[in-house]
Structure 1
Amino acid sequence: MRPVLMLALLGWLGSCQPQQPTANRPAAALPAPPLPPSRYQVALPVPPPTPAALPDSALTRFLQRYAVAPLLQSVRNSQEVTPYNGFFGSDRHRIEVVLLRVRPDAAQPRRLLVTGKSRFKGEIKDLQGFIELTALQRQPALNKAEQAYEKHLESMRMVTVVRLPGAAKAVGHYTLTGHFDWQEVAGTGRFAGRAVLDIATTDRQGLWSGSLRKTAGARGADLLFDGQWTNGPSGPAKPFILVENVTGFAEHVLEDFEVGERDIVINPKYARLGWDSYWENDEWWAEPMKSTARANITE
């Protein structure tokens, strides 16, 4: 028999052998497509190109020159407290966080140690953790389209910005980025994710928090913490976003968040998500201390 014919016969015999069934392997899941931009986002002017991050040495010099920790702390001037407000879970229910103390880590200058409290649906929990800064980039100046958009917003709200004589003046706009990790002290919950901090340097060597635009950096939030909350190593993960300037950012998350034409009025349909009490002056972060003080007095 010719070699070619022999090979063909062997191949035919092999095909007649019983085949082992192949396991049904699930197809790899494709990543979810990005959500289409909202009507609000489509209406925003196109920003200039985002500049690359500055060299690592620039971040080192910046942190040596400016005190970032007091800017992130919710307690300002030993009296005023500005809580971070945010959106928790898939339904974007309101959550609040106060960073009661933020201080540099002496051993790691780019790490800020944090103690604070969170409140979600009336439940208050102590937090402890850190914010680590990893990059610095400039915020480019507003282009003509962005300037026209900002003037239109000012005219709609009948707002006139007046700089007082002798007041500090912004001389540079930057975005600091990094990551954060905050643990619930008496529990297994953990807030972790990415920090995006829009800041301005002043002619008096000071810092402000402030977003130039709503299309880059902190996107109008001024100071933004975006991440996930997890309950233990095997617990469910829920998304959350915390911001300093909620009225400058909320439209990215909840459509028609503001319904007032002149004044800031939060849409009543979001009352079920906890936003009906936004304007209440409720110092919930101080309640445990007040309760302790009363207990000591009565003893």
Structure 2
Amino acid sequence: MKLLLLLVALGATAPAPSAPKARPANRHAPALSAATFFREHNLASLWRLNAESGQPLVLLGCMGTQYRRLELVYESVRRDAHNPQLYHVRGKSRERDRIMPFAGTIVLTTVKKVRVTAPPSGFRALAHYQATGRFRLREAPAEEGSGTLTGTLAMTFSRTAAGLVYMPGQSTEWDYPVPGEGTKFTCTWTSAAHPEPIQLVWATNFMDIADSVIERFRIGDRGVHINPKYARMGWSRYWENDEWWAEAEEPLL
């Protein structure tokens, strides 16, 4: 009887399953050449488009020590014609009611093949990869308080018969998601108009990784919800279905 009670107690306190672990591919396999891989594969769609809807991909993130909500869209991602590891990007970010255009570059520097031990049921991949790089985005100089974002990115993605995609996350019985693949951008914002630099993080799968970025972002054992303390920082809702990045249409005369 004591053994049965012990097993029940252990089951009740078991943590949520961890994310599928990416392990290095066979060490005896030939080394993956970054130059060759990036020449053969264009990664632009992984940052620009929602794979399901084909619409612009809205990336969520946070800024500063108070974790103010940030949204960002890459409206244009173009691989350089002469350097396949260089991408020219253009887009907009939004923090509350402040919408800021930006333009800049992303440079991919490394890539390696990895193994995923527990992919979601039904997800079929030919290979899984990890890549890293750096980026520099300059906000529109004409905008008041504009600055420059300089940082690094880390990404995981899969190659399937349909092309390069992110392996989706998985839900669990504990209501905490098992993160899928995605790209995480980490940077510092600097501006001549502000004396102190500000740290920013945004990602294609931010809601999957938010708990590792924002302290006690989600609370509750079941029926998990966003911590109310972050409501005034813009986190009173998960999502807003408005195309804030779209240019306002000119009125018909």
Q: Report what 1:243 is aligned to.
A: 203
Identity fraction in percent: 30
How far 1:272 sits from its partner (Å)? 1.4
Change in 2 beyond 3 A, CA 1:45/1:81 = closer
Q: Which AA in structure 1 matches 2:154?
A: V
**1:174 counterpart = 2:129:** yes
Q: 2:240 aligns with which of 277, 280, 286?
A: 280
1:63-142 matches, cutoff 5 A: 63-74=38-49, 79-142=54-117
**1:209 counterpart = 2:169:** no
Q: Report what 1:200 is aligned to.
A: 158
Contact 2:183 2:203 in 1 (8 A): yes
SS at match of 2:116: coil
- Aligned residue pairs, count: 226
Change in 2 beyond 3 A, CA 1:56/1:170 = closer
How far 1:74 sits from its partner (Å)? 4.1
- TM-score normalised according to structure 2 size: 0.75
Query: 1:290, 1:125 → 2: CA distance?
Result: 15
Q: Which has the higher strand share?
A: 2
Task: Output one character per residue of 1:167-190: Cα deviation in whole Å (capped at 9) or x when no partner.
Answer: x82121101100000000134411
SS at match of 2:33: helix
Query: 2:230, 2:181 → 1: CA distance?
Result: 19
Task: Output one character per residue of 1:135-167: Cα deviation in whole Å (capped at 9) or x when no partner.
Answer: 00223332xxxx5xx9xxxxxxxxxx663xxxx
Q: Which has the higher helix share?
A: 1
Query: 1:105, 1:282 → 2: CA distance?
Result: 31
Q: Which AA in structure 2 matches 1:283?
A: E
Runs of 5+ in structure 2 lacking a partner? 1-14, 171-178
Runs of 5+ in structure 1 lacking a partner? 1-40, 151-160, 214-218
Contact 2:136 2:149 in 1 (8 A): yes
- TM-score normalised according to structure 1 size: 0.65
Contact 1:74 1:98 in 2 (8 A): no
Query: 2:111, 2:168 → 1: CA distance?
Result: 14
Q: Report what 1:11 is aligned to.
A: none
Contact 2:57 2:74 in 1 (8 A): no
Q: 2:190 aligns with which of 218, 230, 240?
A: 230
SS at match of 1:103: strand
Change in 2 beyond 3 A, CA 1:47/1:241 = same
Task: Output one character per residue of 1:221-246: Cα deviation in whole Å (capped at 9) or x when no partner.
Answer: 61110111111398421111011112
How far 1:92 sits from its partner (Å)? 1.2
How far 1:282 sits from its partner (Å)? 1.7
